[in-house]
Amino acid sequence: MNKGAVKPSKERLYDVIRHPVITEKATMGSEHNQVTFRVPLDASKPEVKAAVEELFGVKVKAVNTSILKGKNKRFRGRPGRQIDRKKAIVTLAEGHSIDVTTGI
């Protein structure tokens, strides 16, 4: 994190990492030492990095984030909108790994 940046609280660390994304594309990222997580829209890259390093005890090399805009859909004939989502693709340093099939 940057100099002078405040370390997030323990509760915020658990709020930042919602759950891992288990898709075909996310699984292919594991070949490049990457793990994908769903995170809140207000989570920043330094927060995600601190949360992953603290909770999983690994060294993070980089964090890339992506906001997935919700689609307009119809539900029972009424128009509605799906929620926006944010995911973080975390690249781990060499020799580090996270087993997403187990809990914290």
- For residue 74, tell me if it sits in a domain: yes
pTM listed for this prediction = 0.83
- For residue 100, tell me if it sits in a domain: no
- For residue 42, tell me if it sits in a domain: yes
Q: What is the CATH number of the domain that holds 54?
A: 3.30.70.330
Note the pLDDT of residue 97: 87
> Count of domains in the chain?
1
- For residue 35, tell me if it sits in a domain: yes
Write the DSSP symbol of residue 32.
Answer: G
User: Could you tell me which residues are beta bridge partners of residue 38?
Assistant: 19, 87
- For residue 22, tell me if it sits in a domain: yes
Note the pLDDT of residue 69: 96
- For residue 54, tell me if it sits in a domain: yes
- 69-82: pLDDT as tens digits: 999 999 999 999 99
In this model, does residue 9 exceed pLDDT 90? no
List the domain range (segments joined by +) for residue 16: 10-92
What are the CA-CA distances from residue 96 to residues 43, 51, 57, 60 (Å)?
A: 23, 15, 9, 9
